[in-house]
C-alpha cells in the first residue's frame, strides 16, 4: 500500500490550489497532483483575476503575487463590421488598494499560488496524471496515477481536474458535456512594449484595461472576444459555444484571425508579436449542468463542477471559493473522523448558500436562452450600430425625425411584437 | 558502493532567448531545469546502485533555488543531495567551480568515502565540459569523458570497465576506482519515476553548505576572483537553413536526388559540358 494522506487534490489550478492551501493551512496532510510540467503550464483563462475571492485565501496577495496590471477601466464594445457602440467605466480608485481585479498570466500566477500552498505544507507533485479514483465498497479511498507504484491513498479526494473532469465522469457524477455546455476559447499572448500599450490604451505603467467585445467578434455566435492589457503584452482571444462553432462550421483559429484583423481591433495589436497560442474549453452549462458534487470520500470543485458565470466572465473566482469551501468541509469532516457523503455534503450546502450558487442560479437560463435565440447577437447589435450611425450622422434631417426612423428601423423587419417579446425575454433571464 | 553525482541547474536553452543587444542569455525567459546530461548521470548511478548496492549522493553548486534540481535527482532515485551555496561562489568559471566542488567532495570523502563520481558530459548552458575533468584532476583520480556504457564494476578489486564514445566508434577502457565519468545521453534512458520517489522528492530538503562548512578553502580560488576566464565576444550561432526532405519509394528518391545534382552541379547540362 502506497503513502497515505488526509487529502489528495487532483489538479493545481485555482480551485485545486485554493483547496490544498486552505486544507494544509488547517494542518491537514495534503498531496496536490498536477499533470503539467508545473502548475499553470496547461491552464488557460482570458486573464482576469478577481481580487475579492483571492484575498479571502491570501490577504494582500497583490504585494507579492506575479500580477500584470490592476484593471482601472472596463470597456464593452458592441461591434458590427465597420462600427461599434461602446460603453466603459474608468475609475482610478481601482488602481489603488484594495483594487478590483487584475490581469494575470496564468503560467506565472498559478506557479506562484501553488508555491504558497507548498509553503503551508502541501506536497506538490508535477508531471503526474491521475488515471482513476480507487473505489472500495462505493467509497473513494485514493487515486491511481500513471507512474510506477502509482497508487496513493487519502481520506478525501478532491477532483479539481478541470473542465473535462474525466475523473468525475468515470465516477458517474456527470456525463460527457454536450456541445452547448462548453465554450471553446482560443487566445494569443502578443508581446508589445510597455510604452506602446500605455499610449494605445491611455493608461499609466500600473494601470490596465479590459475590453469585452460582443457582436461581430463572434460573427453573430453566442460568445465574446476579449482584449486585456498585461505589463508588456496583450491577451487577445475569442470564445463561443462549441455547438455554435459546429453549427456554423467555424474553425476557432479562423475566428481568432477574424477578430485580430477586424478594423476595430487591428490598430490595437499593430506591431504585436505572438508569444503564445492557447486554446481551452470553458464550462458554460451553468446551474443546470452542475454535476453531483459530493460522494463518499470525494468532492468536485472548480471547472470540473461547471462553476462558471458566463455572463460576467467569472470562473477563477468561483473556482477559488469552491476550493476553499471544500477544504473547510474536509477539515470539519476530519474533526469528527467521518468522510461519508453525509458529512462532506456540508460543502455543497455552503456552496449553494454562497455567491457561487446564487449567481449560477440567477443566470441559469441565460446561456440556453441566448443559444436558442441567436437574434440577440446576430441582429440587435448591428441594429444598435445602425441606430447610432443614423442618430449621429449630420445630414440635415431633424433629430425628431431621426428618432422615429430609428424606432421604425428596429421594428421594421421583425415587427413590434417580436421585438417587445425579445426584450421581455432578455429582461427575464437576466434579472 | 558510494556514487557521487555532480549536477547543475541550468536554464532550458531549448527555449531561452538571447538579448539581441548584449548577446547574453536572458535567464528569466526560460525555466530552470536539471541539466539533461546530468539526469542521465543520476540514472546511471541509480542503475549501478541497483546492481552493486550502496548509496547515490548528488552534489551541486548554485543558488538556493538549485535545490529543485536536486529534488529532481531524488525523483530519479538519488538517496541524498548536497547543495553548496554561498555568495562567495558566485561568478565562478569552470576552474573556480571545479575547485569548489572538489572541496565539497573532499569533505564527503572524509565521512562517507566516494567510490565513483559521475557527471554529465557538459552543461547545456556553457557546453564546455571542463568542470567534471577539473574535479577529477584536483582529486587526482582518472577522468573518463564521453562514457556511453559502464560495462563492469569490480568493487572488490577496485576496477571498472567503460565504453567511451570517440569519433570512429567507441573505445573500451579499464580504470581504477575511484574514477570520474562524464556521460553521454545514449548511456541510458531516464526512466519514468515511480510515485513514491516523487513524494519523497517533494518532501526532500537537501543539505546546504556554505564556504565555512568546507575545510581549508582558499577563498582566492572561489567565485569571480578565482575565475581567470575572460569572455571576449558573444554572438548567436547562425541558424541553419534546414534540410530538404525527399520522400517516396527508393526510385522516386533517386530521381529527385539526381535532379538536384544535375541542376546544382550542372551535370549533363549544356552549361556543365562547357566546363
Contact A183, A241 (CB under 8 A): yes
* pLDDT of residue A431 exceeding 80: no
* pLDDT of residue A218 exceeding 90: no
- Most B CBs within 10 A among A117, A123, A142, hence the mutation to make, goes to A123
Q: Which of B31, B195, B203 sits opposite A152 (nearest CB)?
A: B195
Concatenating the DSSP letter of every residue in B101-136 gives HHHHHHHHHHHH--SEEEEES--TTT----HHHHHH
Residue of higher predicted confidence among A139 and B246? A139
Contact A158, A10 (CB under 8 A): yes
* pLDDT of residue A376 exceeding 90: no
Whole-angstrom distance, CA of residue A93 vs CA of residue A72: 8
ipTM over 0.85: no
Is A149 in Cβ contact with B194 (below 8 Å)? yes
Give the count of beta carbons closer than 10 Å to the beta carbon of residue A23.
31
* pLDDT of residue A223 exceeding 90: no
pLDDT value of residue A378 = 78
Q: What is the DSSP letter of A378?
A: I
Task: Look at A96-100, A166-170, A215-219, A364-368 and tell me which has the smallest mean pLDDT.
Answer: A364-368
Q: Is A273 on the interface with B (CB under 8 A)?
A: no
Which residue from A108, A211, A152, A207 is spatially nearest to A8, judged by alpha carbons? A152
pLDDT value of residue A2 = 56
Whole-angstrom distance, CA of residue B248 vs CA of residue A113: 52
pLDDT value of residue A17 = 97
Span A126-155, mean pLDDT? 96
pTM over 0.90: no
Cβ within 8 Å of B, A 112-141: 123-125, 128
pLDDT value of residue B274 = 54
The angle that helices A106-119 and A14-25 make with each other, rounded to 10 degrees, is 20
Of 1.10.357.10, 3.50.50.60, 3.90.1150.10, 3.40.1440.10, which CATH number belongs to A4-66+104-177+289-362? 3.50.50.60
Span A380-396, mean pLDDT? 87
Which residue from A366, A85, A75, A103 is spatially nearest to A241, judged by alpha carbons? A366
* pLDDT of residue A37 exceeding 60: yes
pLDDT value of residue A305 = 92
Task: For chain A, give the number of residues.
Answer: 431
Whole-angstrom distance, CA of residue B17 vs CA of residue A271: 19
Q: Which residues of A touch B193 (CB under 8 A)?
A: 147-148
Whole-angstrom distance, CA of residue A343 vs CA of residue A335: 11
Q: Which residues of A touch B31 (CB under 8 A)?
A: 37-38
Is B202 in Cβ contact with A147 (below 8 Å)? no
Residue A307: pLDDT band with limits 50, 70, 90: very high
Q: Which of A37, A124, A148 sits opposite B202 (nearest CB)?
A: A124
Distant-in-sequence, close-in-space partners of B28: CB < 8 Å, separation ≥ 6? none
Which residue from A172, A176, A166 is spatially nearest to A242, judged by alpha carbons? A176
Of 3.40.50.300, 3.30.9.90, 1.10.10.10, 3.90.1150.10, which CATH number belongs to A182-283? 3.30.9.90
CATH superfamily of this structure's domain B2-221: HUPs (3.40.50.620)
- Interface A–B counts its CB contacts (< 8 A) at 36
Contact A215, A79 (CB under 8 A): yes
- Find the radius of gyration of the CA atoms of chain A: 23
Whole-angstrom distance, CA of residue A134 vs CA of residue B114: 43
pLDDT value of residue A1 = 46
End-to-end CA distance of chain A: 54
Span A401-426, mean pLDDT? 80
pLDDT value of residue A401 = 86
Q: pLDDT tens digits for chain B (275 residues)?
A: 999 999 999 988 887 777 777 777 777 777 889 999 999 999 999 999 999 999 999 999 999 999 999 999 999 999 999 999 999 998 889 999 999 999 999 999 999 999 999 999 999 988 889 999 999 999 999 999 999 999 999 999 999 999 999 998 999 999 999 999 999 999 999 999 999 999 999 999 999 999 999 999 999 999 988 999 888 887 777 777 778 888 889 999 999 888 888 877 666 666 555 54
Contact A75, A208 (CB under 8 A): no
Concatenating the DSSP letter of every residue in B162-201 gives EEEEETTEEEEEEEESSEEEEE-GGG-------HHHHHHH
Whole-angstrom distance, CA of residue A166 vs CA of residue A181: 15
pLDDT in tens, A316-356: 999 999 999 999 999 999 999 999 999 999 999 999 999 99
* Residues of each domain in chain B carrying CATH 3.40.50.620: 2-221
SS3 A382: helix
The pLDDT mean for chain A works out to: 91
Amino acid at each position: 500500500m502506497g503513502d497515505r494522506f488526509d487529502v489528495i487534490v487532483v489538479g493545481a489550478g485555482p480551485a485545486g490550489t485554493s483547496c490544498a492551501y486552505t486544507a494544509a493551512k488547517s494542518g491537514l496532510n495534503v498531496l496536490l497532483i498536477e499533470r503539467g510540467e508545473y502548475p499553470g503550464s496547461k491552464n488557460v483563462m482570458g486573464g482576469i483575476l478577481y481580487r475579492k475571492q483571492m484575498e479571502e485565501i491570501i490577504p494582500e496577495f497583490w504585494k507579492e503575487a506575479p500580477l500584470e496590471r490592476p484593471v482601472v477601466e472596463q470597456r464593452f464594445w458592441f461591434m458590427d463590421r465597420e462600427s461599434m457602440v461602446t460603453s466603459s467605466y474608468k475609475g482610478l480608485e481601482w488602481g489603488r488598494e484594495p483594487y478590483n481585479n487584475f490581469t494575470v498570466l496564468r503560467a506565472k500566477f498559478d506557479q506562484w499560488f501553488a508555491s504558497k500552498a507548498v509553503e503551508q505544507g502541501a506536497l506538490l507533485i508535477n508531471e503526474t496524471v491521475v488515471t482513476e479514483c480507487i473505489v472500495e465498497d462505493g467509497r473513494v479511498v485514493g487515486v491511481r496515477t500513471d507512474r510506477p507504484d502509482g497508487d496513493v491513498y487519502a481520506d478525501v479526494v478532491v477532483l479539481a481536474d478541470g473542465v473535462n473532469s474525466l475523473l468525475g465522469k468515470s465516477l458517474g457524477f456527470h456525463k460527457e458535456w454536450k456541445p452547448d455546455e462548453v465554450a471553446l476559447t482560443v487566445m494569443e499572448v502578443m508581446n508589445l512594449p510597455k510604452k506602446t500599450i500605455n499610449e494605445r490604451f491611455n493608461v499609466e505603467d500600473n494601470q490596465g484595461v479590459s475590453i469585452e467585445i460582443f457582436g461581430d467578434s463572434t460573427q453573430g455566435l453566442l460568445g465574446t472576444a476579449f482584449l486585456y492589457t498585461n505589463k508588456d503584452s496583450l491577451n487577445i482571444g475569442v470564445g463561443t459555444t462549441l455547438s455554435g462553432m459546429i453549427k456554423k462550421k467555424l474553425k476557432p483559429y479562423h475566428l481568432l484571425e477574424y477578430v485580430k484583423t477586424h478594423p476595430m481591433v487591428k490598430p490595437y495589436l499593430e506591431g504585436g508579436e505572438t508569444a503564445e497560442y492557447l486554446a481551452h474549453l470553458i464550462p458554460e452549462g451553468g446551474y443546470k449542468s452542475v454535476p453531483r458534487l459530493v460522494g463518499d470520500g470525494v468532492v468536485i470543485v472548480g471547472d470540473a463542477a461547471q462553476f462558471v458565470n458566463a455572463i460576467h466572465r467569472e470562473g477563477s473566482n468561483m473556482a477559488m471559493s469552491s476550493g476553499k469551501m471544500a477544504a473547510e468541509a474536509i477539515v470539519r469532516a476530519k474533526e469528527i473522523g467521518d468522510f461519508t457523503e453525509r458529512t462532506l455534503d456540508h460543502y455543497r450546502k455552503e456552496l449553494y448558500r454562497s455567491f457561487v450558487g446564487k449567481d449560477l442560479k440567477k443566470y441559469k437560463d441565460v446561456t440556453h436562452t441566448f443559444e436558442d435565440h441567436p437574434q440577440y447577437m446576430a441582429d440587435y447589435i448591428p441594429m444598435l450600430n445602425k441606430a447610432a450611425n443614423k442618430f449621429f450622422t449630420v445630414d440635415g434631417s431633424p433629430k425628431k425625425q431621426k428618432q422615429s426612423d430609428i424606432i421604425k428601423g428596429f421594428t421594421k423587419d421583425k415587427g413590434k411584437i417580436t421585438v417587445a417579446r425579445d426584450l421581455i425575454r432578455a429582461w427575464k433571464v437576466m434579472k | 558502493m558510494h556514487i557521487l553525482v555532480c549536477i547543475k541547474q541550468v536554464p532550458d536553452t531549448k527555449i531561452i532567448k538571447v538579448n539581441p543587444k548584449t548577446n547574453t542569455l536572458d535567464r528569466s525567459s526560460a525555466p530552470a531545469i536539471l541539466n539533461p546530461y546530468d539526469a542521465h548521470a543520476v540514472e546511471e548511478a541509480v542503475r549501478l546502485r541497483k546492481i552493486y548496492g550502496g548509496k547515490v549522493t548528488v552534489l551541486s553548486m548554485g543558488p538556493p533555488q538549485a535545490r529543485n534540481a536536486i529534488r529532481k535527482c531524488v525523483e530519479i532515485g538519488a538517496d541524498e543531495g548536497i547543495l553548496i551555496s554561498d555568495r562567495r561562489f558566485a561568478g565562478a568559471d569552470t576552474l573556480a567551480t571545479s575547485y569548489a566542488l572538489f572541496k565539497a567532495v573532499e569533505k564527503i570523502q572524509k565521512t562517507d568515502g566516494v567510490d565513483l563520481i559521475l557527471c554529465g558530459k557538459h552543461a547545456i548552458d556553457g557546453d564546455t565540459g571542463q568542470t567534471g575533468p577539473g574535479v577529477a584532476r584536483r582529486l587526482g583520480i582518472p577522468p573518463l569523458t564521453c562514457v556511453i556504457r559502464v560495462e563492469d564494476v569490480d568493487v572488490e578489486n577496485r576496477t571498472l570497465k567503460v565504453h567511451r564514445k570517440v569519433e570512429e566508434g567507441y573505445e573500451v577502457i579499464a580504470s581504477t576506482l575511484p574514477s570520474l565519468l562524464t556521460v553521454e545521453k545514449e548511456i541510458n534512458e531516464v526512466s519514468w519515476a515511480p510515485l513514491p520517489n516523487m513524494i519523497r522528492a517533494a518532501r526532500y530538503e537537501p543539505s546546504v553548505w556554505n564556504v565555512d562548512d568546507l575545510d581549508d578553502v582558499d577563498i582566492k580560488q572561489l567565485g569571480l576572483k578565482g575565475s581567470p576566464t575572460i569572455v571576449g565576444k558573444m554572438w548567436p550561432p547562425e541558424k541553419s537553413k534546414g534540410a530538404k526532405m525527399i520522400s517516396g519509394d527508393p526510385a522516386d528518391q533517386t530521381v529527385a536526388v539526381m535532379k538536384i545534382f544535375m541542376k546544382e552541379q550542372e551535370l549533363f547540362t549544356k552549361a556543365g559540358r562547357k566546363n
